[in-house]
Structure 1
Amino acid sequence: MRKIDRIGNPPAGSAVTAEGVKHVMLYYHYLDIGDIDGYASLLTKDVTINRPGVASHSGRNAAAQAQAAQADLLSRHELATVVAEDRTVVVIGRLVRAVADALEVAPRDLDFADVFTLSEHGLVRSYRRYCYVPPVGKMAVTGGQES
């Protein structure tokens, strides 16, 4: 796999994959600014979207409607690593959410690894998010060993 630099410049290689990397970078930008039409323009008609805790979405219109329903302008994606090869793009980063209420106890930031597959035109054909979930309860406090 080839690593992409932090500003999204792809190495020499597949033109489709390079175009797809640009589309993936725009994908996050459009989500961060709430541009649902821009977001939808990067998806194939038969796209599949899978994220933890949310129903899967198939098709551009369903994905755009779902994204519009959960749009959150208080969040932004911080991308740490982008790796691309053979119409696959993997992004490792963090979703940073602004704290709306000081009494809120839910975790606000989310570490993720996103896997995109691309169409022959470099559009997003599928997307799956994997998240780091910190341990809770007794196992978290004792480092995995019960006392």
Structure 2
Amino acid sequence: MGRTRRMAIVSVLALVSLVCLGMGSMGQSVKVTKVPEPDRLFTAEVVDAEDTSYTVREFSVEGLTLVPVTLGKAEVSIDFAAIRSVEFQYDEPTLAAVVTYRDGSTRKVRVEPGVNFYGRTKWGMLRLAARDVRRVTFVQQEATPAP
């Protein structure tokens, strides 16, 4: 009886271990295989939470060239063309941001931490969740839309 019980326990533990190992790839893939085509072309300097900086072309929020924010109870979309920079401060579970407009004025807002920024760098495609961004500075807007 003791041996059968031990075998059952070992079998259950082995099965649980296999299931847990299989869960390692759950969630978002680490590969970026596609960048949404933006509605307009912007280049931005992005600094992430680890102080790594990137020059990103075709920068967008899931293909749109606006930053979706919450201001009070209102949901607002701020056009990239109006923004000089955005400074993010992640304080789980919220993501606060200070938007500096091209005219020099500023506004404190909130951003959903899971919003994804996309673009292209000289070494490949980029996807970065808003929670992992420290600063975005817009450096250029192209005159023509993406082909």
Q: Report the TM-score, using the length of structure 2 for normalisation.
A: 0.28
Structure number with greater Rg is 2
Higher fraction of helix: 1
Higher fraction of strand: 2
